[in-house]
Amino acid sequence: MPGTELFGKEERKEVMDVLETGILFRYNHDEARKGIWKARTFEKEFAEYHGVKHCHMVSSGTAADYVSLASAGIGAGDEVIVPPFTFIAPVEAVINSGAIPVFAEIDETLCLSAEGIEAVITPKTKAVLLVHMVGAMADLDAIIDVCKKHNLILIEDTAQALGGSYKGKPLGTFGDVACFSFDFFKIITAGEGGAVITNSDEIYEKAHTWSDHGHNHVGDNRGAEDHPILGTNYRMSELHAAVGLAQFRKIDFIIERQRANKKVLKDYLKKFPQITFRQLPDEQGDSASVLNFFLPDAKEAERVADEMGNTGIPAAYWYNNNYHYIKNWEHLKEMKTAAPVALKFFDVPQDYKTLQLPKSDDVISRLVSINIRITWTEEELDDMCKKFDAILG
Ligand SMILES: *Cc1c(COP(=O)(O)O)cnc(C)c1O
């Protein structure tokens, strides 16, 4: 969690700017805010970094998933192809948007594969919600081809891969719209927060309008603004934007440190013949926030992750995790929701309870991930390599 390792005077200064004017709201109050616009500045810098026309900041990464779906016109009864290996937020966003998640197989990229996507397309498929998982990119060329061929909207959930790229172009700039998260466990944090980026004027207009009760954000008289559509509230506060902005300005340093520390551990692990690595369609573009590797079978992967965890290495075995892989999503399989959701009234092409994803099971059951810290010292890295010898040698 690099962002959380780096809190400093930069974050405090941005927050104090806001507290000194007392304008915690991101819109209006033009005079009283004395030129302090943290959300707006964060949006400008985030869009520039990605080389896109528009960015809209929202209250969370999950909100960014919702806003991406709604702004791309996806709602009741639409089928959206999603991965079974993802933090569950985008799947919840699809369901709570009234749409229907359709799970496709992943491959050793740890992301949806083009083949997997193509196998579950139906006449009702409207979009692919592609998650760039655990730090790096999906096989974008092949996936873009499938989306074009079948006229599908491509949404990139880049919550776990900020700072990554593919063939020199930032992740999040390949589809129609992309979403990011700045929760406490992501590459940078705002406490809570998210971003939506797009090159489409139409999607952007819907994104900022829908996230703020339909306000069109023209002029400084909030009560008199036009409301072209009904909306909701996913606004980012100025305090969150202030923290996020300070953190975002450290992104180049964060990525550089992640890459350096990951390289030490990955190079060392190469000497163990039983280990293979996550497939990276463009190794140069890895954000390097996570080191992902495979063991020959599930039993060995679980043992290795357990023993690493016991010795203080931040290792994860996602196959048994409750939030990142479909196997333990009993609430989804039983459709346990707070209130009836729209998909109960549509034909759902998959029975989530009996759904089999053998390829994904095989990949995730053999996967071990180590979260990369940016503050590791050389001694700590050496020490981890010695532990690798004991666990894998
Ligand atoms: C964390 C995460 C989200 C949700 O972000 P929050 O800010 O926690 O709401 C969405 N998608 C993915 C892939 C994530 O990892």
Choose one of 250, 284, 316: the last residue of a domain.
Answer: 250
159 pocket-lining for ligand 1 (C-beta < 6 Å): yes
- How far is the centre of ligand 1, averaged over its atoms, from the C-alpha of 65 (Å)? 8
Distance (Å) of CA 103 to CA 112, 150, 341: 9, 17, 18
**Ligand 1 contacts CB of residue 181 (under 6 A):** yes
Going by pLDDT thresholds of 50, 70 and 90, the confidence category of residue 220 is confident
Q: What is the domain count for the chain?
A: 2
My answer on whether 311 and 188 are in the same domain is no
Does 61 sit in the ligand 1 pocket, CB within 6 Å?
A: yes
Report the C-alpha gap between 182 and 157 in whole angstroms.
12
Q: pLDDT band for position 328 (50/70/90)?
A: very high
Mark whether 291 and 195 lie in a shared domain: no
pLDDT tens-digit readout, 165-217 = 999 999 999 999 999 999 999 999 999 999 999 999 999 999 999 999 999 99
Instruction: Compute the distance from residue 272 Cα to the ligand 1 centre, in Å.
Output: 33
* pLDDT, tens digit, 9 for 90 and up, residues 130-175: 999 999 999 999 999 999 999 999 999 999 999 999 999 999 999 9
Out of 223, 250, 277, a domain closes at: 250
Share of the chain above pLDDT 90, in %: 98
Check whether residue 302 and residue 232 sit in a common domain. Answer: no
pLDDT of residue 3: 84
- Ligand 1 atom with the smallest distance to the CA of 181 is 7
Q: What is the pLDDT of residue 327?
A: 97
pLDDT at residue 1 tops 90: no
Coil/strand/helix, residue 131:
strand
Q: What is the CATH number of the domain that holds 213?
A: 3.40.640.10
- How much is the pTM? 0.98
Same-domain status, 192 and 284: no
If asked whether residues 274 and 367 sit together in one domain, one would say yes
Are residues 7 and 130 part of one domain? Answer: yes
Question: Quick check: CB of 160 below 6 Å from ligand 1?
Answer: yes
Question: Are both 351 and 240 inside the same structural domain?
Answer: no
Looking at the structure, tell me whether residues 187 and 107 fall in a common domain: yes
- Residue 353 is predicted with a pLDDT of 97
* Distance (Å) of CA 29 to CA 26, 58, 60, 232, 329: 9, 19, 24, 21, 45
Q: Specify the pLDDT at position 175.
A: 98
CATH number at residue 262: 3.90.1150.10
The pLDDT of residue 130 is 98
Q: Is there a single domain that holds both residue 242 and residue 266?
A: no
Confidence check: pLDDT of 323 > 90 = yes
Alpha helices in the chain (DSSP H): 9-21, 38-50, 61-71, 89-96, 114-119, 140-149, 201-210, 238-248, 251-269, 298-310, 330-333, 358-365, 378-392
